[in-house]
Structure 1
Amino acid sequence: MSLFQNDADFKMDVLREVGNIGAGNAATAMSRLLNKPVDMAVPTVSLLPFEEISERVGGSEAIVVAIFLRVDGDAPGNMFFIISKDSARRILQGLLSFEAGEEDEYTEMELSALCEIGNILAGSYLSSLGDLTGLYMSPSVPSIAVDMAGAILSYGLLQFGTMGDDALLIDTTFLEGNQEAEGHFFLIPDPESFEKLFRSLGVPVE
């Protein structure tokens, strides 16, 4: 977290702007895809150590739905969109109009739909970050898994190699009438990528 010892408030304001623009772009993209209004609350943005990710999604043994992908380009890293089983079911029923199914089981179509939601979010947040920084960042084809949070993160480490120490967390809330479905979006830049991002934004890193 050494990059955040100086001008921490300013740097977090920059990252919050990335979250706000990305959420707006994601809502617009999903509205077009689904041909219906999609509302998203203003996201909360924070920074946390990689090892605390599991605790933010209910603990390492919590069963979650996770969409994960690799970011290639000028500031490489890894991305995870993690949602609880309850939130996954709310998204499927409220946002995507799927009929109620088994809470612990998902059809191939349901998993595909959730994966596409994660893909849209990833693309929207990366696009907003790329527009603000001028850096090229390209997402890989996303994968989806239903497993314990700790196992998913461990698999990500094996799949993508060493992760950076810090994770940018964007808490995303979908609104459907009086129903809410929460998701946790994590961007984990590779070591040195945060510095590249801030330098491209004109933010001092010393």
Structure 2
Amino acid sequence: MTFKSLADFHLDVLKEVGNIGAGHAATALSTLLDKPVDMQVPQVKLVPFEEISESVGGSEKVVMAIFLRVEGETPGNMFFILSMESARHLLKRLVGLECSDKEELDEMEFSALSEIGNILAGSYLTSLADFTQLNMFPTVPSLAVDMAGAILSYGLLQFGEMGDHALFIDTKFLQNGDEVEGHFFLIPDPESFDRIFAALGVAAE
């Protein structure tokens, strides 16, 4: 697959997968929190691996990240990244936790974000697996607060070499008019992208 050859149609297909995942995640979060949660996917795009940290504010920006390894027929890596401002806003608006301005998270904040991240990762992965009819399952997710570049480097150390492109899914949480933005990155291993697109009925070049 040559990424420059991807048409709008291909990204529309992937955006639909993202929207389905967001719907599943919103339902799960609403049940967990016992309050209405809406989620939207305003954009989906493919970005080169080296641009991932730039997409979240730069390699030195401190972020919160959930990351895991995807195993099965289309192995790869998945990251859900929030700025610390967004993480605190999410905790305050969705979970009702009053957060301090310190960079470190306390145990309750860490636990709440881990649970939200697990739900999101599972929802997106399940929707992609259902949509493609491919076997995909996550490893146990990890949560880290660090500079974006350091988190991606740690992911490389943990999971080995990653593919050179990532599927970027913009995610907006909406609750009572408040909006929180997060970023999903699915980084399939090099051979996995062709399998995903083939399963979606999109011819690879």
- 2:38 aligned partner: 39
Q: Which residue of 1 aligns with 2:15?
A: 16
SS in 2 for 1:13: helix
Output the TM-score relative to the length of structure 2.
Answer: 0.96
Deviations 1:172-199 (A, max 9, x none): 1111223221111100000110000011
How big is the shift at 1:7? 5.0
Give the alignment of 1:45-56 within 5 angstroms. Answer: 45-56=44-55
Find the counterpart in structure 2 of residue 126 from structure 1. Answer: 125
Identify unmatched segments of 5+ residues in structure 2.
Answer: none
| Alignment TM-score, normalising by the size of structure 1 | 0.96
Cα distance in 2 for residues equivalent to 1:153 and 1:6: 27
Partner residue of 1:204? Answer: 203
C-alpha offsets along residues 135-178 of structure 1, whole Å, 9 cap, x if unaligned?
Answer: 01001111011100000000000000000011000111111223
Partner Cα separation in structure 2 for residue 37 and residue 25 of structure 1: 13
The answer for the alignment partner of 2:92 in structure 1 is 93
What one-letter code is carried by the residue in structure 1 that aligns with 2:179?
Answer: E
Aligned partner of 1:139 in structure 2 is 138
Q: Is the CA contact (8 Å cut-off) linking 2:15 and 2:41 kept in structure 1?
A: no
Match of 1:83 in 2: 82
How far apart in 1 are the matches of 2:6 and 2:154? 34
Instruction: Provide the residue aligned with 2:159 in structure 1.
Output: 160
SS at match of 1:122: helix
Would you say how many aligned residue pairs link Structure 1 and Structure 2? 205
| 1:178 alignment partner in structure 2 | 177
Partner of 2:194: 195
Does the 8 Å CA contact 2:104/2:145 hold for their aligned counterparts?
Answer: no
Task: Indicate conservation of the 8 Å contact 1:89/1:103, yes or no.
Answer: no
- After superposition, residues 104-123 of structure 1 pair within 5 angstroms as 104-123=103-122
State whether residues 86 and 103 of structure 1, in contact with CA within 8 Å, keep that contact through their aligned partners in structure 2: no
Compute the RMSD of aligned alpha carbons: 1.2
- Mapped partners of 1:180, 1:6: distance in 2: 34
Whole-angstrom CA distance in 1 between matches of 2:52 and 2:165 = 10
- 2:71 aligns to what? 72
